[in-house]
Amino acid sequence: MGSRGKILVMAGALLMPAACSSPVPVASTTTSAAPSTTTSPVSSAKPASDAPALGPGPGSQPPITPQPPPPHSPAQVTSACPFLGVTESSAAMGAVLDEYAVEQPPTTQQDAKTYQCHYASRTGGRQLLDLFVTVIPGTRQVTALVTEWTKDCKGPAAPIAEVAGTTRTCSMDGTNSGDVLVLVAKKSHGQTRLAELYLRPFPARVYTALAQLLNDRL
């Protein structure tokens, strides 16, 4: 996904003590291109049409009681789906999306751990959103990580001025039809936390709303 493989290697290097005389070998990893929100197949974990949505949002099934909100900047990150509910993502986009969220197995590289949440359509069988939340010990490398993380952007990585903190949005293919990256980076609980959200193109106000939600919760 984008520059994740390169950036986690760099993050590990930033965390290494200066006294080390030789670099710690890094396991070979395989990175993939940013997901297509219009063509990616749904994984085999697709629930039945009447299954409740995972994560904090009620999805297409009205809850009997109100769902609790996601954690506000939790002391420990253990999953990605709670950071963005399925109903609030639909509300932010101003669209009725019959989607569900599935938490994927986390991955670890060096000292950085990445949690993944995939949001797919119940009816269309297509990927609508992909959210990655990466946690890296220490808070001194935010600027370098954000710079490296957006190197795969084909369009300019523009700050989202309406959201306080370090946020960026960019086109992954340089057009108005390909995936868009919304990146939020934050120093929180002695860690650097980065939320990486891929979605199809929307008006700028949608990116602002989604970035604000993620910034508040990281």
User: Residue 2 pLDDT more than 80?
Assistant: no
- Residue 198 in contact with residue 179, Cβ under 8 Å? yes
Pairing of strands 166-171, 112-121: unpaired
Separation of alpha carbons 124 and 147, rounded Å: 35
Tokens 């197995």 belong to residue:
105
* Residue 143, φ and ψ in degrees, nearest 5: -60, -45
Whether pTM exceeds 0.85: no
The dihedral of CA 65, 74, 27, 130: what is its sign? positive
pLDDT tens sequence across 27-38: 433 334 444 444
Q: Name the region of 147 (left: φ>0; alpha: ψ -120 to 50; beta: rest).
A: alpha
- Residue 130 in contact with residue 197, Cβ under 8 Å? yes
The dihedral of CA 92, 211, 117, 53: what is its sign? negative
pLDDT tens sequence across 133-162: 999 999 878 888 888 889 888 878 999 989
Pairing of strands 127-137, 166-171: unpaired
SS3 assignment, position 169: strand
Separation of alpha carbons 124 and 206, rounded Å: 22
For residues 11-22, give the mean pLDDT. Answer: 41
* pLDDT bracket for residue 198 (50, 70, 90): very high
